[in-house]
Amino acid sequence: MSEEFKAKVRDISSLGLGIVDHPSGKVFFVPGTWVGDEGIFRIESEKKRYGHARLIKLETTSPVRVTPSCPHHGFEFGSCGGCPWMMVEYNEQLVAKTKFVSQAMKRANLLTSVDALKPIWASPKTLGFRNRAQFKTDGKRIGYVSAGSHEIAEIEDCLILNDKCRDLLVGLRKQLPSENWKASPGHDWNFIEIDDGLEAEAIKLNARQAFKQADEDQNLRMKSWLEDKISNLSEKDRGPIVELFCGSGNFTEILSRFSSHQTLAVESTPHSLEKLKDRDLVNVEVLQADIFLSESWGKIKSSMPEARVLVLDPPRIGFKSISKFIENFPSLQKIFYISCSIPDFIRDISSLVGWELSELQPVDQFPHTPHLELLAELTRREDAPQKA
């Protein structure tokens, strides 16, 4: 098989890579390309059924290509790679993300109604929207991890960060070089997490911040969506609420304000729970438990045995034991699932017997990347089996 070949990008994979066909018929995935790009590609690695290649000469450009705003954008060694779709018109990014969701849900046979899948919510901003970041530093440089490598891509600025976070980055760069930031033996770097709720003097090395949604404008829309759902529950569906992976209370606040019933907010991270307790929300009981351990489920059940609503916002890996978990709550009528991973979301809800996907709302929280958020409403069917 020839190492270099000419081809045209025919599609985009679910991981955001261009798809090209080698003259032999084998499929190759290529970063930094879009449908309509045509050029010379070089094979980088091969598996039995597919491979990975790199664009070495772009001869014909996709009509939706644009010049990236960021000087650090790129796919060569040392480039940031954190915004792999920045060279594509934003509307085309939304089209691709909508296609990802639609095709994945149809393949899984989870769209029982054509109206269940709603139009994607575009981000109001494509730059200056991100309110948090994690940088890597070796004491000489600070930046992100270069795509496809284990090297720091040094950055002077990051245009997707909001003004407060950009100012924090400027302050961090002024501290370089720093002996205190040098990696310990056996490690390549330390990490520094920032968010727009931190002041410069509060930033610490290798200290994780409580999770928060990355785009506050979109977060407000997501909270408004949940507010509407909770406020308009039918009499049959209203009742006590269990919230899993509640973090520091981003969605708990909505449950406290718009439900007259008790909410049990469950989280494993002490730092997040302290922030939640500081909110002093009404009708909210806080429980520290590792939700991924089935041994914790008994505590949750005994605290809220008659729960009628489940709200969960798990990490990217999802909650693959959700079907086993809800067997402990025979009174459950509604599930509101917030997900940032299409494959894990599909795996989880595919395991639910007797539940119907009433609504799926895609949300673009991550412009210039293939990632997106999903807001899902699931309703227990009348004929669903219930286990005590």
Q: What residues are labeled active site?
A: 340
Q: What is the 3-state secondary structure (H, E, C) of 226-254?
A: HHHHHHCCCCCCCCCEEEECCCCCCCHHH
What is the rounded (10 degree) CA torsion for 310, 214, 348, 83?
Answer: 170
DSSP readout, 4-55? EEEEE--EE-TTS-EEEE-TTS-EEEETT--TT-EEEEEEEEE-SSEEEEEE
Q: Which residues contact 202 (CB under 8 A, 6 or more apart)?
A: none
Q: Which residues contact 47 (CB under 8 A, 6 or more apart)?
A: none
d(CA 26, CA 310): 45
Per the structure block, which two tokens stand in for 377? 């409403």
Q: Round to the nearest angstrom and report the end-to-end CA distance of the chain.
A: 60
Which residue type is seen at 350?
Answer: S
Which residue type is seen at 87?
Answer: M
Q: Which residues contact 360 (CB under 8 A, 6 or more apart)?
A: 101, 105, 111, 116, 117, 118, 374, 375, 376, 377
d(CA 332, CA 238): 10
d(CA 177, CA 188): 16
Q: Which of 2, 78, 13 is nearest to 42 (CA)?
A: 2
Helices (H), the chain: 90-107, 163-173, 216-231, 252-258, 270-279, 297-303, 322-326, 342-350
d(CA 354, CA 382): 8
What is the rounded (10 degree) CA torsion for 121, 122, 125, 127?
Answer: 120
Other beta carbons within 10 angstroms of residue 254's beta carbon come to: 24
